[in-house]
Amino acid sequence: MIQKGAHEQPVSAGGGTELFHVIGPRVCERRLLDELCDLTTRVRTVAKSRAGARFLQDLLPDRRAMFYFTQPSTRTFLSFNNACHILGIRTSEIRDPSTSSEVKGEGFEDSIRTFSSYVDVIIMRTREPGRAAQAAWLMDTIARPVPVINAGSGSDQHPTQALLDIYTLDRSFSQRGGIDGKVIGMMGDLKRGRTVRSLCYLMKNYFDVRLVFIAPEQFAMQNDVKSHLEEHGIPFTETEQLGKVLPELDALYVTRMQLEWDKADESRAVDFSRFSVGAKELGMLKPEGIIMHPLPRGPELDPAVDTDPRAMYWRQERNGMWMRAAVLLKIFRLESRIQSLDLEAFAAQDGDIPLVS
């Protein structure tokens, strides 16, 4: 039973790799992560041909998803929306609460309960932390519960971004033993960046990973994450000097300054230019190292980096769509339909023009 008000909830209800609500990253086990990564690759591969794309569209045409996004979103919204379309799921949305009955004073829980009356999954992003957990708790008390997916809860958590980041890391290191044994740098506003916070919570699933936090002192990684890492024996160091640590990194995850959380313009007091990547920094990165960024970018990521083969963020962005399709397949328990496919035979029987991957 989910506790009311808790921010961190199991993604898996039964101890296996089943998914129902996806609220926080903490309880994600390696088995589930590996399965989701494999499923993501399979969905991507199947979608490459027209026959495959049609097969995917026939998987969930009887399901409906609701997007409740009251905080701005481009990538998470579009990638989930298109993941739904890939699987044949129909969608509806509320992005502006001034168009819903909330303006008449309808409470949050009544709104969520109402959404759940019409759809089979609620995908939500809010400015306040803990709302998705609250919605999941509510669902578990009603007769027709639908799964709730946290698509970003304040500056707290962003579990599906962490899943697509794991997929991107895993694929990038596929020829080098995967994520195990890698040194991963996270740079920027680590205090208020929910993507890096969620990603840290997944690191306990990998062997010999070392983390390097590169942030201005005022925006250093928060203690809840650091305690979690200590508890799980994951070594981490903190620095304000990118140049000192960059040559040892296998991946550098760059994030922007989260100005929207400023209370008194506190970010303005910080020289953030030291926490940026351009041609000079690329020259210090290992030839096989990678640059990631959840996007949108600010001045911390020079567009000149985009053409370097080690820039992984555009692929990371697209991976989000495939990973979110995999998450939806798991939630609706259709993963075996993809896992049992003979992908090569599937591609061979397809006479159509292949679609772009």
Active centre residues (catalytic): 75-76, 104, 125, 158
**Minimum CB distance to ligand NCD smaller for 295 or for 347:** 295
Three-state DSSP state, 356: coil
CB 183, min distance to ligand NCD, A:
22
Non-local (6+) Cβ contacts of 323 within 8 A are: 36, 40, 160, 163, 164, 167
**CA 115 to CA 126: how far, in whole Å?**
15
**Minimum CB distance to ligand NCD smaller for 194 or for 318:** 194
CB 192, min distance to ligand NCD, A:
9
**CA 149 to CA 71: how far, in whole Å?**
15
Q: Does 276 engage in binding with ligand NCD (CB under 6 A)?
A: no
Find the helix packing angle between 313-331 and 75-86, rounded to 10°.
50
Q: Does 158 engage in binding with ligand NCD (CB under 6 A)?
A: yes
Count of residues that bind ligand NCD according to CB under 6 A: 11
Residue of 6, 51, 295, 343 interacting with ligand NCD (CB under 6 A): 295
Residue number, nearest CB to ligand NCD: 294
Q: Does 195 engage in binding with ligand NCD (CB under 6 A)?
A: yes
Query: Cis omega (within 30 of 0) on the bond before 296?
Result: yes
CB 291, min distance to ligand NCD, A:
15
Q: Does 256 engage in binding with ligand NCD (CB under 6 A)?
A: yes
Structure tokens at 235: 């070594």
Question: Any idea how long the chain is?
Answer: 357
DSSP tag of 235: -
Which residues ranging from 72 to 91 are in contact with ligand NCD (CB under 6 A)? Answer: 75-76
Q: Which of 342, 273, 271, 283 is nearest to 310 (CA)?
A: 283
Contact residues for ligand NCD (CB under 6 A)?
Answer: 75-76, 152, 158, 161, 194-195, 255-256, 294-295
